């Protein structure tokens, strides 16, 4: 956790007028968003809803750092069957799609989990495009089957990247469930909070000048 706990993220562009200050991010923000998305997807899974187009572009950030999932245009009711086979020729979000979805048009909760791994990658690269510079052609599926995966993001610690790779398991049944993802990310988030609490306690007891911790860790 310490690898990125105090890592300073670059400021994001600010669209607000009147010379408002730039938006600052910390690792806790990224973990908090990831945790909320996993929890929201677990909610959908429990209600037999397949999203089908989970991507960062379909995740909204509202007040108080609350994340909301949007764009249910491809969502399907899974009460009758846990699998959905696409039969139309509508454009698909190829870079977010699982191997089985690309190969057979089969969508399921497990394909949503694959997409969640890509969303994590988007979050921890601060919005980079997945597989940027790689041509998505008829050989793309074969490359995934042969082990091609997105590289470890700069702002992701090993445990987060391990979660991403687990989401991209070739066999759908080997991927974690959303409840497991929620729990695992929650543990990392709790560790970050605990580390800050411990450091903050030490700072209060230290008579020497200390860094401004509010610049390092975001408020809840």
Question: Which residues are tagged catalytic?
Answer: 53
Strand runs labelled E in the chain:
49-50, 59-61, 67-69, 76-77, 84-85, 106-107
Q: Which of 196, 148, 175 is nearest to 29 (CA)?
A: 196
Helix-strand-coil percent breakdown of the chain, rounded to 5? 50, 5, 45
Cα(198)–Cα(1) distance, integer angstroms: 13
CA–CA–CA angle 111, 116, 121 (5° rounding): 130
Burial 67-88 (b: 16+ CB within 10 A, else e): bebeeeebbbebeeeebbebee
| Pair type for strands 106-107 and 67-69 | unpaired
Q: What is the dihedral of CA 131, 71, 25, 3, to 10 degrees?
A: -50
d(CA 97, CA 160): 20
d(CA 25, CA 11): 7
């Amino acid at each position: 956790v310490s690898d990125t706990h105090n890592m300073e993220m670059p400021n994001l562009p600010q669209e607000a007028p009147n010379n408002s200050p730039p938006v600052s991010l910390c690792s806790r923000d990224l973990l908090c968003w990831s945790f909320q998305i996993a929890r929201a997807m677990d909610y959908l899974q429990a209600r037999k809803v397949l999203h089908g187009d989970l991507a960062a572009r379909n995740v909204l950030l509202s007040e108080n750092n609350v994340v909301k999932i949007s764009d249910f245009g491809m969502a399907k009711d899974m009460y009758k069957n846990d699998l959905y086979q696409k039969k139309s020729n509508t454009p698909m979000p190829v870079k977010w799609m699982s191997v089985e979805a690309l190969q057979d048009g089969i969508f399921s909760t497990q394909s949503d989990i694959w997409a969640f791994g890509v969303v994590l990658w988007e979050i921890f690269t601060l919005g980079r495009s997945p597989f940027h510079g790689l041509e998505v052609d008829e050989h793309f599926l074969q490359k995934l089957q042969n082990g091609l995966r997105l590289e470890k993001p700069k702002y992701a610690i090993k445990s987060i990247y391990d979660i991403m790779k687990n989401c991209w398991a070739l066999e759908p049944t080997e991927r974690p469930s959303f409840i497991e993802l929620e729990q695992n990310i929650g543990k990392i988030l709790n560790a970050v909070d605990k580390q800050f609490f411990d450091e903050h306690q030490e700072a209060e007891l230290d008579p020497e000048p200390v860094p401004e911790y509010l610049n390092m860790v975001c408020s809840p």
